């Protein structure tokens, strides 16, 4: 699912409420890190600066009734490790290999690449079956 | 007319709304063959029903518990029963219900009806769902007609249909279900006819029974058989049946009855009748351009065609074989009655005496060679009875299923397994034993309060009862590894039980009476005898589900004791606790003094070493309630004796010989799935939460894990 899905829901910690955003993501081969991009003038960016603990939801819904048994949902818990412009970095190449359409977005000086160290994956299948994978 | 109702004579397959079965009937009507009139409730009505009631989602949830490939037959039956109950509880949209009732009023007023399945996938050239869905005869009145339309719809999800879909890798439920409603023709003689004998292409075969065709199709009534030469039309009577019974109409539905003496020696058909059946068979073949398999009935002098389909055995040998097997897992009442007689009058007494006779044979005077022969004999006896168990005892479990289906159809409870409470009135053998153990625990607890002579007497009584427990239920709580210490193990367990009151049996006599009243009052006066027979059969079936393993356990225990004797004699040649457990190995070692038995290695499992950890596991809800406690995972029988009060029993497959610890535990989790497996039966008896059907339960859960068992939904939560 980490390879088949391009987008995830990112959850950051806001001042009064948890805050959800849809983001494009890429995961490293060892499953230890997830990378996404964001502009600096956003709620999620400010939330991250205030608190690096984030989670993601990645799922395989098709918006059909069969999703109840067929859809999988993966919650990912982690902590922001770095925030940088990523210009000419390996990280930038890695991210663009997954999202080539976001090249111009990354070129914007107001955009940063955020790298999250993953601590745990929680996979839910068949509506209620839950397995966890600890990282590190 | 509206989009939900099509007159039978204009049913058309091309629009894919009424099924091939309806189109076939329509074409036979057009060609002048006599077919009972009626109409078709379209597949569109079915789809609207499941969408508007939310059933579509509920079915997805029910079948989403686990992959169909991972389900045992019992789990499929449970799922099918739940789905059937959902259908019964749902309301047909008013416009569809109104259209059906109007159609009956217009075309078939005052007529008893046949309500028949017509799946769109039925009779496709590549598959044949024939017989896997349900049809109902002699249905009367608007309310009953609507109810039986729902039951036909539900049969799209019957256990046999699910099993067949799985075997052929068809997408489950991808089909849809139309319903054919026809005038009920009460034929005096009925039968089937095959345009071509699969074994000889020059011949046609005709079979006939007295009464309705259901007796023949279900296999309850043996038919007479004629062979007809397709070229000359020459008829030969091939087989005359015993003519003992026939299926006839009852107040609601049909029933099987003994046949009057005057029919006993009279063939069902005269030669002129056979010619008439052969004639319509050939007309159907000409009409459809291929040999047909037809069902017919004769009322007075008139022959009615009930169904025609291409002979599938000529085209789809593999799928036909599969379908036949799936159908064979269903048993009729008459068939179950026969199996019961055999089990109760023949098998159980034979098992009891054979096991007792073997147990009496003393090893003391036996030479090593004689002991080897004894072990071989005991091993063969166990295998022989195990085969009979699979072939006869397990199919008898269908008595409970048959009852459950009839109960739910008639009473329609919110709990599709309510009927089990009505069956659990006869003490199971394992519960009888467990109760003795609890009594012993009570006595042990009391000893502490006594003094002097009273205390001494109580201690003696405890020893006496322990001896009785060990003797009377010889070997039931032991295995290869634990048998020698059985008395001490039972003592330790009783002491654990003596701490605080153990779980009590959940049987509520008042509730049983109430359910009995519900059951019998759902039958007309003249049908109550049959209702009592059904209940009696189901109770026997339920009881045997537990007790049969205990009978079988005696053979296992006999073998274990003989093998233990050989271990004692072989001494150091048994290199570890596993090396002298296989019968063949010890026999060889007894015969050849140089031979050292091979060690039995357990299959290594690395599931627990993985980083991935289960947090929540989904199974089948098999005992209502919620319990939380530390898990006790049973990997071998000796683990049972380490159970502490309040723990959650987690096992691969509990059998009656293991249930003596159940009074101590607070919930049961089992790999095997189903409402009728022993773990579920015992959990229900004790009112414990139970979840079954969790693959790898014993690998994914560790002893000591704090777990919550949700027996309402079928969930096991493993806490951090």
- B114 and B163: one domain? yes
pLDDT of residue B610: 40
Which range of residues forms the domain containing residue B466? 429-498
> How far apart, in Å, are the Cα atoms of B170 and each of B64, B166, B203, B306?
16, 6, 35, 28
The nearest CA of chain B is from the CA of A73 a distance in Å of: 14
Establish if B328 belongs to a structural domain.
Answer: no
Residue ranges of chain B with per-residue pLDDT less than 70: 1-2, 12-16, 122-131, 168-174, 312-331, 425-430, 471-486, 499-509, 546, 577-578, 599-610, 656-657
- B465 and B516: one domain? no
ipTM of predicted complex: 0.85
Domain boundary among B132, B158, B183: B183
Categorise residue A127: left if φ over 0, alpha if ψ from -120 to 50, beta otherwise.
left
CATH number, position B638? 3.50.30.10
Establish if B35 belongs to a structural domain.
Answer: yes
Which token pair is B133?
Answer: 């869905």
The nearest CA of chain A is from the CA of B65 a distance in Å of: 6
CATH number, position B44? 3.30.1490.20
Residues of chain B in contact with residue A124, where contact means CB-CB under 8 angstroms, are: 616
Domain boundary among B498, B520, B542: B498
- B256 and B295: one domain? yes
Residues of chain B in contact with residue A68, where contact means CB-CB under 8 angstroms, are: 57, 60-61, 64
Residues of chain A in contact with residue B712, where contact means CB-CB under 8 angstroms, are: none
The per-residue DSSP string of B113-182 comes to EEEEEEETTTT-SS---TTTS--EEEE-SHHHHHHHHHHHHHGGG-HHHHHHHHHTTPPTT-S-EEEEEE
Strands (E), B215-367: 224-229, 235-239, 245-249, 254-258, 292-299, 302-310
* Inter-residue contact B78 to B65 (CB < 8 Å): no
Those residues with Cβ within 8 angstroms of residue A100's Cβ, 6 or more apart along the chain or in another chain: none
Residues B22, B24, B27, B33, CA torsion sign: negative
- B169 and B22: one domain? yes
- Other Cβ atoms closer than 10 A to B443: 16
Contact B613 A129 (CB under 8 A): no
Those residues with Cβ within 8 angstroms of residue B449's Cβ, 6 or more apart along the chain or in another chain: none
Search chain A and give the residue with CA nearest B619: A129
Search chain A and give the residue with CA nearest B51: A65
Q: Report which of B380, B386, B338 is spatially closest to residue B551, judged by C-alpha positions.
A: B386
Most A CBs within 10 A among B66, B608, B616, hence the mutation to make, goes to B616
Contact A129 B616 (CB under 8 A): yes
Contact B60 A69 (CB under 8 A): yes
Is the CB of B617 inside 8 Å of chain A's CB atoms?
yes
How remote is the C-alpha of B420 from its chain's centroid?
13
Interface of B with A in 63-122 (CB under 8 A): 63-66
pLDDT of residue B481: 42
The per-residue DSSP string of B556-581 comes to HHHHHHHHHHHHHHHGGGS-STTTT-
DSSP-derived 3-state class of residue B344: helix
User: What confidence tens digit (pLDDT) does each residue in A72-109 have?
Assistant: 999 999 999 999 876 768 899 999 999 999 999 999 99
Establish if B594 belongs to a structural domain.
Answer: no
The nearest CA of chain A is from the CA of B640 a distance in Å of: 28
Contact A132 B612 (CB under 8 A): yes
* Inter-residue contact B196 to B231 (CB < 8 Å): no
Contact B60 A66 (CB under 8 A): yes
- B267 and B228: one domain? yes
How remote is the C-alpha of A25 from its chain's centroid?
5
Those residues with Cβ within 8 angstroms of residue B252's Cβ, 6 or more apart along the chain or in another chain: B138, B139, B140, B144, B524, B527
> How far apart, in Å, are the Cα atoms of B671 and each of B251, B607, B623, B678?
44, 15, 14, 12
> How far apart, in Å, are the Cα atoms of B434 and each of B549, B558, B618, B685?
15, 21, 30, 12
The nearest CA of chain A is from the CA of B171 a distance in Å of: 12
Search chain B and give the residue with CA nearest A122: B615
Establish if B564 belongs to a structural domain.
Answer: yes
HEC sequence for B451-485: CHHHHHHHHHHHHHHHHHHHHHCCCCCCCCCCHHH
Strands B690-692 and B667-670: parallel
- B23 and B142: one domain? yes
Give CA–CA dist B668/B683, Å, rounded.
7
Residues of chain B in contact with residue A31, where contact means CB-CB under 8 angstroms, are: none
Q: What is the distance in angstroms between the CA of the first residue and the CA of the last residue of chain B?
A: 62
Establish if B583 belongs to a structural domain.
Answer: no
Reading chain A (136 residues) residue by residue, the pLDDT tens digits are 899 999 999 999 999 999 999 999 999 999 999 999 999 999 999 999 999 999 999 999 999 888 988 899 999 999 999 998 767 688 999 999 999 999 999 999 999 999 999 999 999 998 889 999 999 7
Establish if B529 belongs to a structural domain.
Answer: yes
Residue B64: which of A124, A127, A131 has the nearest Cβ?
A127
Which token pair is B633?
Answer: 């995972």
Give CA–CA dist B639/B644, Å, rounded.
11
Give CA–CA dist B651/B20, Å, rounded.
48
Is the CB of B607 inside 8 Å of chain A's CB atoms?
no
Give CA–CA dist B7/B108, Å, rounded.
11
Contact A68 B616 (CB under 8 A): no
- B375 and B443: one domain? no
Is the CB of B715 inside 8 Å of chain A's CB atoms?
yes
- B629 and B675: one domain? yes
Is the CB of A69 inside 8 Å of chain B's CB atoms?
yes
Establish if B576 belongs to a structural domain.
Answer: no
Q: Report which of B281, B286, B282 is spatially closest to residue B306, judged by C-alpha positions.
A: B281
- B392 and B517: one domain? yes
Is the CB of A127 inside 8 Å of chain B's CB atoms?
yes
* Inter-residue contact B113 to B181 (CB < 8 Å): yes
- B120 and B103: one domain? yes
Give CA–CA dist B121/B285, Å, rounded.
22
The count of structural domains within chain B is: 5
Residues of chain B in contact with residue A128, where contact means CB-CB under 8 angstroms, are: 616, 618, 713, 715
Is the CB of B60 inside 8 Å of chain A's CB atoms?
yes
Domains in chain A with CATH codes: 7-134 (2.30.110.10)
- B217 and B364: one domain? no
Search chain A and give the residue with CA nearest B613: A132
Residues of chain B in contact with residue A130, where contact means CB-CB under 8 angstroms, are: 614-617
Contact B611 A68 (CB under 8 A): no
Establish if B119 belongs to a structural domain.
Answer: yes
Which token pair is B78?
Answer: 């449970």
The per-residue DSSP string of B607-648 comes to GGGSSEEEEEEE-EEEE--EEEEEEEE-SSGGGGGG--TTPE
Q: What is the distance in angstroms between the CA of the first residue and the CA of the last residue of chain A?
A: 21
Most B CBs within 10 A among A129, A133, A135, hence the mutation to make, goes to A129
Search chain B and give the residue with CA nearest A133: B612
DSSP-derived 3-state class of residue A38: strand
pLDDT of residue B252: 75
Those residues with Cβ within 8 angstroms of residue B427's Cβ, 6 or more apart along the chain or in another chain: B435
Categorise residue B110: left if φ over 0, alpha if ψ from -120 to 50, beta otherwise.
left
Contact A126 B713 (CB under 8 A): no
Q: Report which of B699, B715, B627, B720 is spatially closest to residue A128, judged by C-alpha positions.
A: B715
User: What confidence tens digit (pLDDT) does each residue in B705-720 have?
Assistant: 999 999 998 999 999 8
pLDDT of residue B473: 56
Residue B57: which of A65, A122, A124 has the nearest Cβ?
A65
- B98 and B13: one domain? yes
Domain boundary among B127, B155, B183: B183
Contact B616 A128 (CB under 8 A): yes
Search chain B and give the residue with CA nearest A135: B611
Contact A129 B57 (CB under 8 A): no
Is the CB of A130 inside 8 Å of chain B's CB atoms?
yes
pLDDT of residue B601: 55
* Inter-residue contact B162 to B80 (CB < 8 Å): yes
pLDDT of residue B471: 67
Give CA–CA dist B80/B326, Å, rounded.
14
Categorise residue B691: left if φ over 0, alpha if ψ from -120 to 50, beta otherwise.
beta
């Amino acid at each position: 699912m980490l390879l088949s899905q391009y987008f995830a829901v990112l959850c950051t910690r806001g001042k009064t409420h948890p805050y959800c955003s849809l983001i494009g993501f890429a995961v490293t081969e060892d499953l230890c890190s997830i990378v996404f991009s964001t502009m600096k003038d956003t709620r999620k960016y400010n939330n991250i600066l205030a608190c690096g603990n984030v989670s993601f939801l990645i799922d395989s819904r098709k918006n059909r009734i069969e999703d109840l048994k067929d859809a999988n949902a993966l919650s990912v818990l982690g902590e922001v490790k770095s925030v940088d412009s990523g210009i000419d970095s390996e990280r930038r190449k890695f991210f663009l290999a997954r999202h080539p359409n976001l090249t111009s977005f990354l070129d914007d000086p107001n955009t940063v690449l955020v790298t999250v160290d993953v601590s745990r994956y929680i996979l839910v299948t068949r509506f209620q079956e839950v397995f966890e994978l600890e990282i590190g | 007319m509206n989009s939900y109702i099509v007159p039978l004579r204009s049913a058309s397959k091309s629009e894919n709304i009424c099924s091939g079965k309806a189109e076939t009937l329509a074409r036979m009507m057009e060609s002048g063959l006599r077919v009972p009139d009626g109409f078709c409730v379209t597949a569109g009505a079915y789809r609207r029903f499941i969408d508007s009631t939310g059933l579509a989602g509920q079915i997805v949830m029910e079948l989403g518990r686990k992959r169909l490939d991972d389900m045992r037959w019992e789990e499929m039956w449970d799922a099918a029963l739940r789905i059937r109950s959902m259908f019964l509880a749902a309301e047909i949209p008013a416009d569809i219900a109104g259209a059906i009732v109007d159609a009956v009023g217009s075309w078939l007023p005052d007529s008893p009806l046949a309500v028949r399945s017509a799946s769109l996938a039925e009779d496709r050239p590549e598959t044949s769902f024939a017989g896997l869905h349900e049809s109902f005869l002699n249905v009367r009145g608007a309310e009953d007609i609507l109810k039986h339309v729902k039951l036909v719809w539900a049969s799209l999800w019957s256990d046999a249909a699910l099993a067949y879909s799985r075997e052929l890798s068809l997408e489950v439920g991808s089909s849809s279900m139309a319903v054919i409603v026809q005038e009920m023709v009460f034929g005096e003689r009925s039968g089937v006819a095959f345009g071509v004998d699969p074994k000889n292409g020059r011949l046609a075969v005709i079979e006939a029974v007295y009464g309705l065709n259901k007796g023949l199709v279900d296999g309850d009534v043996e038919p007479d058989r004629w062979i007809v030469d397709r070229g000359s039309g020459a008829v030969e009577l091939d087989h005359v049946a015993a003519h003992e019974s026939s299926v006839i109409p009852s107040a609601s539905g049909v029933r099987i009855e003994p046949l009057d003496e005057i029919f006993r020696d009279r063939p069902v058909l005269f030669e002129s009748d056979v010619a008439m059946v052969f004639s319509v068979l050939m007309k159907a073949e000409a009409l459809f351009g291929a040999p047909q398999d037809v069902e017919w009935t004769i009322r007075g002098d008139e022959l009615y065609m009930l169904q025609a389909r291409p002979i599938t055995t000529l085209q789809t040998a593999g799928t036909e074989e599969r379908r036949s097997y799936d159908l064979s897992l269903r048993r009729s009442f008459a068939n179950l009655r026969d199996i019961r007689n055999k089990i109760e009058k023949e098998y159980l007494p034979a098992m009891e005496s054979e096991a007792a006779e073997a147990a009496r044979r003393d090893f003391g005077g036996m030479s090593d060679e004689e002991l080897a022969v004894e072990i071989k004999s005991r091993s063969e006896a166990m295998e022989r009875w195990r085969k009979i168990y699979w072939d006869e005892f397990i199919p008898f479990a269908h008595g409970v299923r048959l009852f459950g289906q009839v109960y739910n159809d008639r009473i329609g409870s919110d709990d599709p397994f309510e009927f089990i409470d009505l069956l659990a009135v006869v003490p199971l053998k394992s519960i009888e034993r467990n109760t003795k153990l609890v009594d012993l625990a009570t006595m042990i607890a009391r000893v502490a309060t006594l003094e002097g002579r009273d205390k001494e007497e109580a201690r003696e009584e405890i020893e006496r009862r322990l001896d009785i427990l060990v003797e009377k239920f010889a070997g039931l709580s032991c295995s290869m590894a634990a048998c020698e210490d059985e008395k001490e193990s039972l003592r330790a367990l009783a002491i654990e039980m003596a701490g605080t009151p153990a779980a009590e049996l959940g049987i509520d006599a008042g509730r049983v009476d109430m359910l009995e009243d519900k059951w019998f009052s759902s039958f007309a006066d003249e049908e109550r005898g049959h209702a009592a027979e059904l209940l009696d059969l189901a109770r026997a079936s339920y009881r045997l589900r537990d007790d049969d393993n205990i009978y079988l356990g005696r053979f296992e225990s006999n073998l274990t004791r003989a093998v233990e004797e050989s271990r004692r004699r072989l001494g150091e040649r048994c290199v570890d606790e596993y090396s002298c457990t296989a019968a063949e190995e010890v026999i060889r070692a007894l015969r050849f003094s140089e031979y050292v038995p091979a060690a039995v290695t357990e299959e290594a499992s690395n599931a627990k070493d993985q980083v991935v950890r289960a947090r929540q596991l989904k199974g089948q809800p098999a005992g209502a309630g919620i319990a939380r406690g530390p898990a006790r995972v049973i990997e071998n029988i000796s683990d049972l004796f380490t159970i502490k009060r309040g723990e959650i029993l987690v096992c691969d497959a509990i059998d009656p010989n293991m249930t003596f610890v159940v009074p101590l535990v607070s919930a049961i989790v089992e790999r095997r799935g189903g409402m009728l497996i022993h773990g579920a039966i015992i959990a229900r008896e004790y009112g414990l939460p139970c979840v079954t059907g969790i693959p790898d339960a014993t690998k994914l859960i560790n002893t000591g894990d704090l777990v919550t068992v949700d027996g309402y939904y079928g969930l096991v939560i493993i806490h951090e």
